[in-house]
Amino acid sequence: MQHSVADVLVHVSNGERVHPGEVFGLGTMPGGCGMENDHWLSRGDVIEMRIERIGSLTNTIASPPAG
């Protein structure tokens, strides 16, 4: 990691109040990024993040907005 978790929390809390139970995403583990594995998202792909006993967040890759 480029910055420690403590440094990230100090930076975030400098401008905003941090509450107990908030979740912070700090990036990916080595080998966990699609770019590293030459895996790219395509229109129609579904991404789901699930945290046990909390819930899930699902997004579908759509076409870019017309311009």
pLDDT at 15: 86
What pTM, to 2 d.p., does this model score? 0.48
The mean predicted confidence, pLDDT, of the chain is: 86
CA distance 46 to 42: 9
In the chain, where the domains are located: 5-60
**Secondary structure element (H or E) that encloses residue 7, with its range:** helix 5-15
Residue 48, SS3? strand
Closest CA to 27 of 56, 50, 52, 5: 5
pLDDT tens-digit map of 13-31: 998 898 988 888 887 777 7
Residue 47, SS3? strand
Residue 61 has pLDDT above 90, yes or no: yes
